[in-house]
Structure 1
Amino acid sequence: MTGFTLVNILGGLLIVTSTVVVLARTAKKSALLYMLQSFVLVLLLLSLGFATESSELFLWSASAFVTKVVLVPGILLYTIKKLGESQEVVNETSPARSVAIIAIEVLVCFAAVKQVDLYTAAEVKPALAISLAHFFIGLTCIISQRNIVKQIFGYCLMENGSHVTLALLAPHAPELVEIGIATDAIFAVLVMALVVRRIFRKTNSLDANNLMELKG
């Protein structure tokens, strides 16, 4: 098995983990599954680093482990604990329909990537298609979830997709670029978590449908 083959296999695992993040019945389960997906992303970065002989990607994988496997899930799990959110969440879209939508998004991205003719992407087109699909999967998560905590995971999935896309197209980019992206993600998740806590204190609800009316 070549290094690029392993990268594409790990890309396939990213789709599996992102799908279960969307379908998870509680926000806590989504946080734990997102942690698992981020660990798969770290393994993908390591595999890509060995395949491309990029020392930068080894540093990327280390910082991604700290930020995506530890810090971001930790912030979300702490927020969920403070909110006391343990009940099942309600999805606007049925699980079967969500899976079908994700499958269509992946197929469209595979068709789009076939037209890409870049030297850096020649061996990793399946993984590149999957990384692009994460933007749409993130949107699907945001649209299909009524629980506002779970909607945050839509942003997290989109951010993971951008992370992988950058690594695949520019494996020798300075590690400082990755740190900038990861830092933005941490602050964004932290701000969203604080906003969710304020909303819950005011409304005692995490259901987005209960937040549709403005009150004077």
Structure 2
Amino acid sequence: MDAHSFIPQLPHIVSLFAGLMLLGTLVFLTQKGLLACINLYMLHSFFLVLILIVIAFGMGETHLYAGAAITFLLKVVLIPGMFFWLIKQIDIKREVQFYINTSTSLIIAAALVLFAFDITHRVFDFAHFAVSETAITLSLAMLFIGFFIMISRTQALNQMLGLLIVENSLFLLASVTTFGIPLVLEIGISFDVLIALLIMGIFIFKINQTFHHIDVSRLQKNKE
């Protein structure tokens, strides 16, 4: 199948992978193991890489292949590797702690997905400018759920994973609405994300050395 015959199926394939990303995000909400959450982030990022490859092939945007390679190296290899290293280096509870229980979290997530669909159909009117209108909706849903993960988890590492899901969602949204982010911008964004994560990793390491835990709720109690 060449690129010309591939284009009619492009929106459906992109929507499929975006749907799998959303499914992974919803499963993330149910996980009580930190390692499982990291693995789900890896899978989430891998589907993002596949979307970039599909857009590159379907639209003939060859620079996206390099972007997909950079995304794979950063989000599927380096960042998860940093999380696994942090877990080995510091004494972290492997069980995820919640401010909001799983059942309530899933109900809220479902409401956020519906809200994303409503926003897409009410506010956005550029489906013909995008690779996939469905992918726009799903990326917004994941964006909202990522923010929810950040405020509904007590551990700093899980909150960082929520932030990374937000970043993946924004990356997906930009990719499907602009037919691929320019390579220079992709490299700049990836570098910024990597530096920010390194800084956060150092802070978490130092916090653990001082307080012997990284539970944000306990740190708030210590402040009080």
**Shorter-chain TM-score: what band?**
over 0.9
Matches of 2:212 and 2:222 in 1, distance apart?
Answer: 15
Does 1:98 find its partner at 2:105?
A: yes
1:42 matched residue in structure 2 = 49
Letter aligned with residue 28 of structure 2: V
Assess, with a 3 A threshold, how the Cα gap between structure 1 residues 151 and 173 changes in structure 2: closer, same or farther.
closer
- Indicate the residue corresponding to 1:117 in structure 2: 125
Q: Which of residues 49, 57, 64 in structure 1 aligns to 2:64?
A: 57
- Cα RMSD (Å) of the superposition? 1.8
Q: Whole-Å Cα distance in 1 between the matches of residues 108 and 150 of structure 2? A: 13
Q: 1: distance between equivalents of 2:91 and 2:35?
A: 10
Whether 1:127 aligns to 2:118 is: no
Q: Which runs of 5+ in 2 are unaligned?
A: 1-7
Q: Map 1:1-216 to 2 at 5 A.
A: 2-115=9-122, 116-118=124-126, 119-121=128-130, 123-213=131-221
1:191, 1:22 → 2: CA distance? 26
| Alpha-carbon separation, structure 2, partners of 1:184 and 1:137 | 22
The change in CA–CA distance for 1:56 and 1:114 in structure 2 (over 3 A counts) is: farther
User: Is contact 1:17-1:33 (8 Å) kept?
Assistant: yes
Residue identity opposite 2:129 in structure 1: T
Q: State the shift of 1:134 in Å.
A: 2.2
* Percent of residue pairs bearing the same amino acid type: 29
What is the rounded CA distance, in whole Å, between the counterparts of 2:40 and 2:148 in structure 1? Answer: 17
Match of 2:125, SS? Answer: coil
Q: 2:46 aligns to what SS in structure 1?
A: helix
- Unaligned runs of 5+ residues in structure 1 are none
Q: Which deviates more from structure 2 when the two are superposed, residues 68-77 or residues 43-52? A: 43-52
Contact 1:21 1:30 in 2 (8 A): yes
Distance verdict in 2 for CA 1:213–1:91, change over 3 Å: closer
- Structure 1 position 172, deviation (Å): 4.4
* Structure 1 residue identity aligned to 2:140: L
Q: How many Å apart are 1:139 and its aligned residue?
A: 1.2
Asked whether the 8 Å contact 1:56–1:171 carries over to 2, the reply is no
Are the counterparts in 1 of residues 174 and 180 from structure 2 also a CA contact under 8 Å? no
Deviations 1:140-161 (A, max 9, x none): 1111101111111111011001
Contact 2:31 2:37 in 1 (8 A): yes
Counterpart of 1:76, as a letter, is F
* CA distance in 1: counterparts of 2:181 and 2:86, whole angstroms: 34
How many residue pairs are counted as aligned between the two chains?
215
Q: Deviations over 1:100-141 (max 9, x none)?
A: 1111111111111124222322x5111111112222111111
Deviations for 1:70-101, whole angstroms, at most 9, x for unmatched residues? 11111111111111325312111111111111
Q: Deviations over 1:4-43 (max 9, x none)?
A: 1010010100111122233321222211111111111101
